[in-house]
Copies of this chain bind each other. A is one copy, B any other.
Amino acid sequence: MKFNATNVRASASAADLIFEALREAIFTGEIGAGEHLRQDALAEMFNTSRIPVREALSRLEQQGLVKTERYKGTTVTSLSVDEVREVFEFRALLEGEVIRYAVENMDDETIEKARRACDAFATETDSARYGELNRDFHYALYAKAERPYHLKIVSQALDRIESYLRAQLVLTDGMERARREHMGILEACIARDKERAAELTRAHILGASASLISFLETRENSK
């Protein structure tokens, strides 16, 4: 007899929980850039020892969300405008290519799934969930590219700038524009027009980048 394949073993370890909590806190801005994270304090906060805390911090560092210096501790990293711009540029290149692959394998089921994600994004009113629903839509399409490595890197790039992405979406026209552009991408996928889908995706990302960067720069200047 074969046992039920439920993934009990994949249940989160303490390090997983701390990692997720910190990641989310950084994304929402609850922990601001430059802030110092002390291992002892975190261990106490999460009611564990330092061991899982260190593992979580190490993973955050690998993702570039924090930086730790020997004997000095770990701080939340802040990205410069140039760095943000570069990550968006990278995403435009990569996601454009990924959607091209995806359209090649596109089927009705995937389109249906993407349409639902698109609707969910368009009707959501809780701005805290914009980022998540935005990912849902794109990933629904990207899944069909059948390129797990590419997708992992896309995901990593999104993590790097997630907090900025969330900020961009809640800007006045960010959501409305994203809604429209998602529709366009979806239609190109339905028409199986991979070049148009790729071009729209690139434009979608670069447009968001431009709007975010102009926001960041005016904020920077007004300080």
- Interface residues of chain A, those whose CB is within 8 Å of chain B, are 9-10, 13, 51, 54-55, 58-59, 62, 69-71, 83, 86-87, 89-90, 93-94, 97, 147-150, 153, 157, 160
The answer for the CA separation of A147 and B87 in the assembled complex, in Å, is 9
Is the CB–CB distance between B153 and A86 below 8 Å?
no
Q: A149: nearest residue on chain B (CB-CB)?
A: B86
Is the CB–CB distance between A86 and B9 below 8 Å?
no
Give 26 CB contacts A-B under 8 Å: A9-B69, A9-B70, A9-B71, A13-B70, A51-B51, A51-B54, A54-B55, A55-B55, A55-B58, A58-B58, A58-B59, A58-B62, A59-B62, A83-B148, A83-B149, A86-B147, A86-B148, A86-B149, A86-B150, A87-B149, A90-B149, A90-B153, A93-B97, A94-B94, A149-B160, A153-B157
Is the CB–CB distance between A93 and B94 below 8 Å?
yes
The answer for the CA separation of A153 and B69 in the assembled complex, in Å, is 22
The 9 closest A-B pairs by CB, nearest first: A62-B62, A86-B149, A9-B70, A93-B97, A87-B149, A55-B58, A58-B58, A86-B147, A90-B150
Known: A62-B62, A86-B149. 14 other contacts (CB 8 A): A9-B70, A9-B71, A13-B70, A51-B51, A55-B58, A58-B58, A59-B62, A83-B148, A83-B149, A86-B148, A90-B149, A93-B93, A93-B94, A153-B153
Report the minimum CB–CB distance from A72 to chain B (whole Å).
8
Chain B residues lying within 8 Å of A97, measured Cβ to Cβ, are: 93
Chain B residues lying within 8 Å of A153, measured Cβ to Cβ, are: 90, 153, 157
Which residue among A58, A149, A160 has the maximum number of chain B CB atoms within 10 Å of its CB? A149
Copies of this protein in the assembly total 2
Q: Main SS of chain A's interface residues?
A: helix
The answer for the CA separation of A83 and B71 in the assembled complex, in Å, is 39
The answer for the CA separation of A148 and B87 in the assembled complex, in Å, is 10
The answer for the CA separation of A69 and B9 in the assembled complex, in Å, is 8
Report the minimum CB–CB distance from A206 to chain B (whole Å).
14
Report the minimum CB–CB distance from A19 to chain B (whole Å).
11
Chain B residues lying within 8 Å of A89, measured Cβ to Cβ, are: 147
The answer for the CA separation of A59 and B57 in the assembled complex, in Å, is 11
